[in-house]
């Protein structure tokens, strides 16, 4: 799946989206396709987790915090021994105004980082 500007001009506005929006949508489509491929091909959990982690960072970069939280939680479910995943979750939860959840995530990151 690939998104380009022509797809959006058909909505009746006649305006082309910004190139950053098109790039963002292309990246989302790429991560979605990679996640689907990984699940179908039974790729390793750590590989699939990396896809979800990077997907969460893409959402976070666009300040789409709920979607970012969903994706980082999927990464953690697949490979929960990565301190960086929990730190990212903590950062996202801070943005979602969940300080208790963020602190729990940061503590998990610290705990895993000590091993």
5 within some domain: no
32 within some domain: yes
49 within some domain: yes
Segment 47-83, tens digit of pLDDT:
889 888 988 998 898 899 999 999 999 999 999 999 9
108 within some domain: yes
Segment 79-93, tens digit of pLDDT:
999 999 999 999 999
pLDDT for 34 equals: 63
**Structure-token pair, residue 15:** 């305006």
Of 3, 65, 7, 5, the residue nearest 31 (C-alpha)? 3
pLDDT for 45 equals: 85
pLDDT for 58 equals: 86
Judge if pTM exceeds 0.75: no
| CATH code of the domain containing 85 | 1.25.40.10
- Asked if 68 and 59 count as a contact pair (C-beta separation under 8 A), the reply is yes
**What total of structural domains would you count in the chain?**
1
């Amino acid at each position: 799946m690939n998104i380009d500007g022509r797809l959006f001009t058909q909505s009746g506005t006649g305006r082309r989206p910004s190139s950053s929006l098109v790039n963002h949508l292309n990246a989302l489509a790429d991560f979605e396709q990679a996640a689907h491929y990984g699940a179908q091909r039974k790729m390793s959990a750590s590989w699939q987790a990396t896809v979800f982690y990077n997907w969460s960072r893409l959402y976070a970069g666009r300040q789409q915090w709920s979607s970012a939280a969903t994706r980082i939680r999927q990464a953690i479910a697949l490979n929960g021994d990565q301190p960086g995943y929990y730190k990212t979750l903590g950062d996202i939860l801070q943005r979602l105004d969940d300080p208790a959840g963020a602190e729990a995530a940061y503590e998990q990151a610290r705990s895993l980082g000590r091993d």
